[in-house]
Amino acid sequence: MLTCEQVAQLISESLDRKLPLRKRLAVRTHYLFCKACPQFEKQVRFMRDALRQFQDRVESVESFFATPLSSEIRERMKQALSQAAGDMGSGEM
C-alpha cells in the first residue's frame, strides 16, 4: 500500500508522462481509502493547467504571481494550495 507521500510523488510524475499501469492501479487503489490525494491531484492539475494557460505571457512562476491581471487566478491558486496542504496534513492513513 502506498503512502500519501508516495502517491503525491506519482501524481507529479504523471503530469509529465503517463504512469505505468501498475503504478496507476496503485494510485487508484489508494484513492479508495484516501480522500486527500484525489483532491490533491485535482488541485495540482488545475494549477498545471492554469500555469500552461499563462506561460506564453509570463516568463516564470514569480512573474506569474506578480502579474496584476492574474489576481483572480492567483487567489484561486492560493486557496487551492492551502486547501491541499490542509487536506494532506489531516489525511493520515
37 counts as binding Zn ion under rule CB under 5 A: yes
* Among positions 27, 34, 44, 84, the unique one binding Zn ion when judged by CB under 5 A: 34
Q: How far apart are CA 67 and CA 82, in angstroms?
A: 20
Stretch that binds Zn ion, among 15-23, 33-41, 67-75, 77-85 (CB under 5 A): 33-41
Which one-letter amino acid corresponds to residue 90?
S
Phi/psi of residue 78, nearest 5 degrees = -60, -45
Nearer to Zn ion, 40 or 64 (CB): 40
| Shortest CB 74 distance to Zn ion, Å | 27
Residue among 35, 45, 47, 42 at smallest CA distance from 90: 35
* Among positions 4, 10, 11, 27, the unique one binding Zn ion when judged by CB under 5 A: 4
Q: How far apart are CA 93 and CA 75, in angstroms?
A: 30
Nearer to Zn ion, 42 or 74 (CB): 42
Applying CB under 5 A, the residues found at the interface with Zn ion are 4, 34, 37
